[in-house]
Amino acid sequence: MRKSNDGSTRKPLPVVLFGAFDRHNLGDMLFPHVVASMLEERGVRFAGLAARDLRAHGGHRVEALVQMHERAVDLIHVGGEILTCDAWEAAVMLQSPDDAQRLIASHPHDRLAWAHRVLGTQAHAPYVWSKETLPSAARVLFHAIGGVGLSGRDDALRGEVLAKLAAADDVTVRDARTQAWLARSGVDARLVPDCAVMVADLFGNTIRERASTPAIERIRAAAPDGYLAVQFSADFGDDATLAQIAAQLDRVAQTHGLAIVFFRAGAAPWHDDLSCFERTAARMHGARVHVFDSLNIWDICALIAHSRAYLGSSLHGRIVAMAFARPRINLLHDDDLARPCKQTAFAETWEDADSPKAVSVSRLADDVNDALSVEQNRLDQTAARLVTLYRDDFPALAAHLA
Separation of alpha carbons 256 and 287, rounded Å: 11
Shortest CA distance to 31 belongs to which of 174, 212, 169? 174
Asked if 210 and 298 touch (Cβ cutoff 8 Å), the reply is yes
Average pLDDT estimate for 18-24: 94
The pLDDT tens digits for 376-394 are 999 999 999 999 999 999 9
Flag whether pLDDT at 313 surpasses 90: yes
Give the number of other CB atoms < 10 A from CB of residue 402. 9
Flag whether pLDDT at 120 surpasses 80: yes
Question: How confident is the model at residue 340, as a pLDDT?
Answer: 87
Give the number of other CB atoms < 10 A from CB of residue 256. 16
Euclidean distance between the first and final Cα of the chain, in Å? 7
User: Which H or E run contains 141?
Assistant: strand 137-145
User: Which H or E run contains 377?
Assistant: helix 376-398
Q: Which domains does the chain have, with CATH numbers?
A: 2-192 (3.40.50), 198-386 (3.40.50.2000)
Q: From residue 19, how far is each of 210, 250, 319, 381 by CA, in Å? A: 26, 38, 18, 30
Asked if 243 and 283 touch (Cβ cutoff 8 Å), the reply is yes
Separation of alpha carbons 219 and 299, rounded Å: 12
Mean pLDDT lowest for which of 90-104, 177-191, 295-309, 334-348?
90-104
Question: How confident is the model at residue 11, as a pLDDT?
Answer: 76
pLDDT category of residue 307 using cuts at 50, 70 and 90 = very high
Separation of alpha carbons 18 and 280, rounded Å: 36
Average pLDDT estimate for 52-66: 95
Question: How confident is the model at residue 68, as a pLDDT?
Answer: 83
Separation of alpha carbons 291 and 289, rounded Å: 7
What's the pTM value of the predicted model, to 2 decimals? 0.94
Average pLDDT estimate for 30-39: 97
Flag whether pLDDT at 2 surpasses 60: no
Separation of alpha carbons 397 and 80, rounded Å: 17
Strand-strand pairing, 2-3 and 9-10: antiparallel
Flag whether pLDDT at 6 surpasses 70: no
CA dihedral for 339, 343, 349, 354, sign (positive or negative) = negative
Average pLDDT estimate for 157-180: 97
Give the number of other CB atoms < 10 A from CB of residue 205. 8
Shortest CA distance to 196 belongs to which of 301, 47, 46? 301
